[in-house]
């Protein structure tokens, strides 16, 4: 995990010094949607492994009751959820029940880390304020850009910007996946102080995605029986906001390439209709 300041002239200053033992030793993670029903699963594994390596105790609050009580050394709490109105297969939860608040209070976290945007982030923020614990929010989905593709943007988009400003101005720190998103949030004044936003660089788990897992059988399946052809893979949610139809023009320029979609989502039926000679996995 790499966390750095969003500055074009200096992108190397670490937020967490691994040599400093004064860092947090108990972290409460609020994860929405549930990593056990989404592509966040491997991400959660990596984070739990990292915390274990650092000697940090972890409590994970997520959607869906009935999640395992323990996962890679982390304690898990499931919260009752409801489906997202625009994304029925995405469960949401406020996670503010007395049961959850009591468990977090007994856990005594040094910091609360919540994924944003969503519904659970409100519960995370309320719990953090109740316990006087600092809050870190990791911003994963740039909803104001996605909304025009789903609903009435003239009404919902300004509302979402208001929600984002409320949440991230209240957070002690916001982590973003790219410098471009950081600049957009700052331009919209969602975050007032530049020192309260950091770039959380993406990376590849070299253990999970190692060449030793190479499988000719899988390549045959993903390439539609032409393993010698160049193969392009999209792994993630299949939604209209991904602009996957743009791949049609890309594939027209790469007639020898093959493409495979690994994942699911409301746009899957449309992807199957795109005449690319693809396989949806």
Exposed e or buried b per residue across 77-92, where buried means at least 16 C-beta atoms within 10 angstroms of its C-beta? bbbebeeeeeeeebbb
Average pLDDT over residues 224-251: 81
Token pair 């469960």: residue: 91
220 in a domain, yes or no? yes
Q: Can you give the pTM of this predicted structure? A: 0.72
CATH number at residue 70: 3.40.50.2000
Average pLDDT of every residue of the chain: 77
For residues 234 and 279, the answer to whether their CB atoms sit within 8 Å is no
Confidence (pLDDT) at 11: 38
100 and 227 inside one domain: no
Q: Note the pLDDT tens digit of each residue in 177-224.
A: 888 888 888 887 766 665 588 888 877 778 778 889 989 999 999 888
- The answer, yes or no, to whether residue 15 has pLDDT greater than 50, is no
Shared domain check, 228 and 188: no
Considering its fold, how many domains does the chain have in total? Answer: 2
pLDDT digits (tens, 9 = 90+) for 137-165: 988 877 766 666 666 565 666 777 778 88
Whether 219 and 188 map to the same domain: the answer is: no
Q: Which of 201, 222, 248 is at the close of a domain?
A: 201
Return the pLDDT at 166. Answer: 84
- Kindly state whether residue 81 falls inside one of the protein's structural domains: yes
Q: 28 and 153 share a domain? A: yes
Most confident of 74-83, 123-132, 189-198, 247-256: 123-132
Q: Give the pLDDT band (50/70/90) at residue 228.
A: very high
Q: Residue 59's domain spans which residues?
A: 2-201
Terminal CA-CA length for the chain: 29
In which band, very low, low, confident or very high, does the pLDDT at 4 lie, cut at 50, 70 and 90?
very low
Q: What residues have CB less than 8 Å from 83, skipping those under 6 apart?
A: 89, 90, 91, 92
């Amino acid at each position: 995990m790499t966390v750095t300041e969003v500055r074009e002239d200096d992108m190397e200053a670490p937020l967490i010094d691994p040599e400093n033992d004064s860092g947090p030793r108990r972290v409460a993670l609020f994860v929405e949607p549930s990593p056990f029903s989404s592509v966040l699963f491997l991400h959660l594994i990596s984070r739990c492994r990292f915390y274990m390596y650092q000697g940090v105790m972890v409590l994970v609050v997520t959607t869906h009751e009935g999640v395992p009580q323990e996962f890679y050394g982390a304690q898990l709490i499931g919260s009752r959820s409801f489906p997202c109105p625009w994304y029925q297969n995405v469960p949401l939860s406020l996670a503010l029940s007395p049961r959850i608040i009591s468990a977090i209070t007994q856990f005594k976290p040094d910091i609360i880390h919540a994924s944003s945007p969503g519904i659970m982030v409100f519960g995370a923020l309320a719990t953090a304020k109740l316990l006087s614990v600092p809050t870190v929010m990791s911003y994963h989905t740039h909803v104001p850009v996605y909304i025009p593709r789903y609903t009435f943007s003239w009404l919902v988009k300004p509302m979402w910007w208001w929600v984002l400003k409320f949440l991230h101005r209240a957070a002690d720190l916001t982590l973003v996946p790219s410098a471009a998103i950081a600049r957009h949030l700052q331009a919209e004044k969602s975050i007032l102080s530049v020192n309260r936003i950091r770039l959380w660089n993406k990376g590849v788990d070299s253990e999970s995605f190692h060449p030793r897992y190479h499988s000719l059988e899988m390549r045959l399946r993903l390439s539609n029986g032409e393993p010698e052809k160049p193969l392009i893979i999209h792994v993630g949610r299949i939604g209209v906001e991904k602009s996957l139809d743009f791949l049609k023009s890309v594939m027209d320029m790469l007639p020898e390439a093959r493409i495979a979609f690994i994942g699911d989502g409301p746009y899957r039926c449309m992807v199957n209709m795109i005449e690319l000679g693809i396989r949806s996995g």
